[in-house]
Structure 1
Amino acid sequence: MTAGAELFRRNGYTGTGLKQIVTAANAPFGSLYHFFPGGKEQLGEEVIRHSGMLYAELFDIFITPAEDVVSGIEAAFAAAAVTLRETDYADACPIATIALEVASTSEPLRQATADVFSHWIAKGTEAFQRFGLPEDNARKLTVAVITSLEGAFVLSRSLRDTEPLAVAGEAAAATARHLMKAPDAK
Structure 2
Amino acid sequence: MTRDTRTRLLEASAQLFREQGYTGTGLKQITAAGEAPWGSLYHFFPGGKEQLGAAAVRHSGDRYLRLFDLVFARAEQDTVQSVRDFFQLSVEALRKSDWGDGCPIATVALEVAGTSEPLRHACAEVFASWEAAIARRLTAAGIAAEQAGDLATYVLSAFEGALVLSRTAHDVRPLNVTADIVAETLRARLG
Q: How many residue pairs end up in the alignment?
A: 181
Q: What's the counterpart of residue 49 of structure 1?
A: 58
Q: What's the counterpart of residue 156 of structure 1?
A: 166
1:65 Cα deviation after fit: 4.0
Q: Whole-Å Cα distance in 2 between the matches of residues 100 and 18 of structure 1?
A: 20
- Structure number with the higher helix fraction is 2
Is residue 141–residue 175 contact of structure 1 (8 Å, CA) maintained in 2? no
Is residue 79–residue 137 contact of structure 2 (8 Å, CA) maintained in 1? no
Q: Whole-Å Cα distance in 1 between the matches of residues 131 and 73 of structure 2?
A: 14
Q: Whole-Å Cα distance in 2 between the matches of residues 180 and 64 of structure 1?
A: 19
Q: Whole-Å Cα distance in 1 between the matches of residues 71 and 11 of structure 2?
A: 24
Q: Whole-Å Cα distance in 2 between the matches of residues 142 and 164 of structure 1?
A: 19
Supply the AA of the counterpart residue of 2:107.
Answer: T
- C-alpha distance after superposition, 1:63-120 (max 9, x if no partner): 3442422211221111210111011111111001100000000000000011111111
Q: Whole-Å Cα distance in 2 between the matches of residues 100 and 7 of structure 1?
A: 15
Q: What's the counterpart of residue 105 of structure 2?
A: 95
Q: What's the counterpart of residue 35 of structure 2?
A: 26
The answer to which of 52-61 and 153-162 deviates more is 52-61
- Extract unaligned runs of 5+ from structure 1: 182-186
- TM-score (norm: length of structure 2): 0.90
Supply the AA of the counterpart residue of 2:172.
Answer: T
Is residue 137–residue 179 contact of structure 1 (8 Å, CA) maintained in 2? no
Q: What's the counterpart of residue 165 of structure 1?
A: 175
1:4 Cα deviation after fit: 0.9
The answer to which of 133-142 and 89-98 deviates more is 133-142
1:134 Cα deviation after fit: 1.1
1:8 correspondence with 2:17: yes
Q: What's the counterpart of residue 116 of structure 1?
A: 126
- C-alpha distance after superposition, 1:1-20 (max 9, x if no partner): 11111111111101101110
Q: What's the counterpart of residue 141 of structure 2?
A: 131
- C-alpha distance after superposition, 1:148-168 (max 9, x if no partner): 111111111111010010011
- TM-score (norm: length of structure 1): 0.92
Q: What's the counterpart of residue 48 of structure 2?
A: 39
Between the aligned residues of both structures, percent identity stands at 49
Q: Whole-Å Cα distance in 2 between the matches of residues 165 and 177 of structure 1?
A: 18
